[in-house]
Structure 1
Amino acid sequence: MARFGDTFLSNPLYAGTIRRWARAARQADIVDLTVLRRQRNRARLLRHHLDRLINKADERLALPMIGSTGFAKPHNADWAWRPALWRGPLAEKGRASVPNKARLGDEITLFHDCAQSELTLRQLRNLRREDLAPYGLRLDVFSFDGSFLSLVVDLPESGWKGLKRNHLLRLEAIVELEKPLEIFARLNIRHGPNTEQIVRELPMEQSDMRVEFDLAYSSINEKRVEAAWIDLIFEGPQMNQVVLRDLTFSRRPRAQI
């Protein structure tokens, strides 16, 4: 059997097969009916396999590539990152009746104070052509009897090591909501015994959201930064579905004036 690889299209067997089917199509008006019936049955069987191949190829080639880290970054960014949940498949795809401080993957934790949890978290595969992230995260909230709900993303050491007060930290998210909802992003930077916090509200006018944290207005001790994380805080989340199609971070030094 001929090898189905990069040179298959130029393979003599493939070229001969194409010529035979092209000739059969040209002679369909004059060929004997017995032969035509046999050709039709073979063509239908061949078409079945070809359609399956084409459909699967179209599906896979249209999807964002697993492991993708590509996204638009500021031209002078010295760090950029997409969390693992949005890059590749997790061993645990999701959780139902999610308890407080439940983790999904190594970087994502859900915090709430519900007496009865009616929350679900699930990683999903992004299927839209415009998506750059291979995966997304869906949060379903049904009845909600708590006073707060937040999704915490731990930034890696590469994101906070060397952090300076002249840095701008950018968060970008693609969010789909079942109904309008206020979402706040809170940057937390632990430096020594203290934790600096900066809060920004995500703009809800469009699905592609961006906020920046200007560390020039903070009082961090640059020499003692030892951890950083982001809280995504959902206000009034009951009976809603939130899909985070993408979540990325980058930082860049402020332009010198």
Structure 2
Amino acid sequence: MTIKHTIETALHECVDHGQFTDSMVEQFAAEPHWYGCPRCNFDKRHSSDDVVRSVGVTVHRARLMNERLLDAGIPLRFQTCSLDTWAADEDQDKLRAWHYATGYVDAFAENFPLGRSVMLLGQVGTGKTHLAAGILQQVIRHFAAQGLAGLYTTAGGIIRSIKDTFGNRERTESQVYADLIAPHLLVIDEVGVQHGTDFERTVLFEVINGRYEQMKPTIVVSNLGMADLRTCLGDRAVDRLRDKGGLVVLFRWASARGAV
């Protein structure tokens, strides 16, 4: 049995089932731990004892949730950046941004079928990625049981993935785009730090438009203002992000990085 996100394996002994191959599994925003006896885990989920079964099902769901969160690709630095850890410090603009984020999550059952997107725009160091990561992981936590999948990436990562297909017979551009369109919610960070070439604009439009056509929401994070974002992505891409009441959240305060 292969466990996803396995760090290492070892032979362990179960008092009920004898020797088995255990897996140390990576955890989202936590230390890794051993998976345990797979037969014991299975038996608990299917036990006739309601209490034992409830515990087994809870553990199983937590493990599935952990896989969804890890599969989302949120960088280690931002795995602890939840909506609960956002520090507004009674700043009205920061509180407004937090309310936009929490409101988007609370209404995601409505936002998702509309394909309603979000743009988080403002200066560096103002917490845009924190809120984007918080939205993404909160949506996964709320809707993973319904099979929802989310993904974090950067604009530069998307462009590199497309360039990596040039001359590569194992992976095509279509496959890269399909993988980016497939998630129910996609975060594209660092939009605007590229060179602003027509090629880059075309690549990002393909992703945004492909998701727009499938009515899947996208969260765009950028240091640019709206006018410069239109120059970077093109009017068509931005208009698609604004469709169906797509949100624009402006981060107008000073950078918190390096603050004493």
Please indicate, yes or no, whether the TM-score normalized by the shorter chain is above 0.5: no
TM-score range, shorter chain: 0.3 to 0.5
Specify which structure has the higher proportion of strand. 1
TM-score, normalised to structure 2, is: 0.33
